[in-house]
Amino acid sequence: MKLTGIFPPIKTEKVQVRKSEGSAAARAESAVLPTDRVVLSAGSLEVQKAKDILEQTPDVRMDRVQALKEEIARGEYQVDPYRLADKMMGSLLSETLVK
């Protein structure tokens, strides 16, 4: 399952750097001026980190799919009816609350 569009885009601005050519006095004056910095908020860093993790996560976990296929083929795969019922009820309730 691929999740896209759940994170707002991170806005960035282009910074134009001006190189000064000229006398030593002009260079000394530009050395005293503060330089431009980009500071990202903690929230935007977390969003970027989550986005990177999601991009690295495969859509299908083939190792898990293969293990389940093997269990089914051997006849060892069993469904816990109580766990299944809990999941179904949880899904039903979450759909009802969202609407």
CA atoms 21, 23, 28, 34: torsion sign:
negative
Query: Which amino acid would we find at residue 89?
Result: M
Model pLDDT for residues 28-67, shown as the tens digit of each residue: 665 667 778 888 788 888 999 999 998 888 888 899 999 9
Instruction: Using a cut of 0.75, tell me whether the model's pTM lies above it.
Output: no
Domain spans of the chain, in order of start: 24-98
